[in-house]
Amino acid sequence: MTPPTGTLLYPQTTLGAAPFLSLPSPQEAVIQRLEMVWDGIVPVYEQLHAAWTRHTCPDDAPAHQLGGWPTLVQRPLGPDCLYASTGRTLNSLNPPALTPDEQRAVEEWHLLLQLDSDDRLGWYWGDPGRIYFCNRRDTPLEQTWLTVQAA
């Protein structure tokens, strides 16, 4: 089958898959709530998270993944998805201030697919840069939102 004229073709590559344990970023609300219960846990968790990230993504290998906790470039994805899905824009690299109802809504968003910049495939979303596809549980895939983070 021949692609339509003008189609941008990417190099063919072999894909592989392996299960792994993803950990929430220290920025995620679930980790911040732990700090309210166990004072001083976040600095310890940050070290654990950094070591685990080096283990799962050695030598700055692309961090593509299906599901799990995202490997963040900037901030948690929930506010980005909430704002995009409600027609609002984020004007800062910092997470927006959220009402309690918005915070609950933010935590409904989950990662479906993360695509990292990857020289092998000719993908460059920034240095570093990643594309995230997110959805809420029990929501049709047609209602998935894409967000990009780049440094």
Q: What is the pLDDT of residues 16-25, one digit of tens each?
A: 888 989 999 9
Q: What string of DSSP letters covers 74-125?
A: SS-HHHHHHHHHTT----SSSPPP--HHHHHHHTTEEEEEEEE-BGGGTB-S
- pLDDT at 92 (0 to 100): 74
Q: What is the pLDDT of residues 84-134, one digit of tens each?
A: 888 888 777 777 788 999 989 999 999 999 999 998 888 999 988 999 999
Average pLDDT of the chain is: 90
- pLDDT at 149 (0 to 100): 92
CB atoms within 10 A of CB 129: 17
- pLDDT at 32 (0 to 100): 92
Q: What strand order describes the sheet that includes 129-136?
A: 65-66, 109-116, 129-136, 145-150
- pLDDT at 120 (0 to 100): 87
- pLDDT at 91 (0 to 100): 77
Two tokens, residue 36: 């309210």
Q: How much is the average pLDDT of 18-38?
A: 93
- pLDDT at 87 (0 to 100): 86
| Angstrom distances, CA of residue 85 to CA of 54, 69, 105, 147, 150 | 33, 20, 11, 11, 20
Q: Hunting for tokens 């021949």 — which residue is that? A: 2
- pLDDT at 97 (0 to 100): 82
